[in-house]
Amino acid sequence: MEDPFNHLKNSIKKDFSGLSFSEERKNMVKETIRRKQSHLELHYWKIETLKNILDSLQDGAKHGYDISTQLFRKNELSFKNNEGQLYILLHLLENKQIITSKWVADKKYYSLTMKGKKYVADWKHSSSKQRTLLNYLIEEASL
């Protein structure tokens, strides 16, 4: 059976084959996108929500549905009526290199980076530092 998008793919390849952008232009586009999405900041979520997400990734990589399920088990209801917000938060955390992702069999799996593991380890060892570290994380990720 022929790929139904074959003609579209070939047309895109033909029409955009010689197209390239300078690094300066790419950076300008990225900055414009960042400014337009500036209302999507981590300040929107509670510190406990961030902690629960990072905790859920401690045992290994998980896809969004698994993370969501673990959050509901912990009675974390921030995403109850809008589960898409979880993916926005995961994307923000990924942009700040706190988590990383990879696609496996049509599912995107998220895992902690070394930076994310450091946050988890630091708050486990010092409860007084926990709120400060998570506040720092929220501020940093919102930049």
Residue pLDDT, tens place only, 1-59: 567 677 777 777 666 666 777 888 878 877 776 665 554 455 556 777 888 889 899 98
For the ranges 3-17, 23-37, 104-118, 126-140, the maximum mean pLDDT occurs at: 104-118
Label residue 91 exposed, middle or buried (CB < 10 Å: 0-12, 13-18, 19+): middle
DSSP 3-state of 2? coil
Q: pLDDT at residue 88 above 80?
A: yes
- Say what the pTM is: 0.60
Sequence-ordered strand ranges (E) for the chain: 62-63, 99-104, 107-112
Lowest mean pLDDT among 12-21, 45-54, 98-107, 130-139: 130-139
Three-point CA angle 98, 69, 101, nearest 5°: 30
DSSP 3-state of 58? coil
Half-sphere exposure in the Cβ direction for 115 (13 Å, CA):
13
Q: Which residue has the tokens 């980076």?
A: 113
Task: Give residue limits of the domains in the chain.
Answer: 42-142
Distance CA 54, CA 43 (A): 16
Tokens encoding 114:
């070394």
Q: pLDDT at residue 103 above 80?
A: yes
As assigned by CATH, the class of the 42-142 domain is mainly alpha
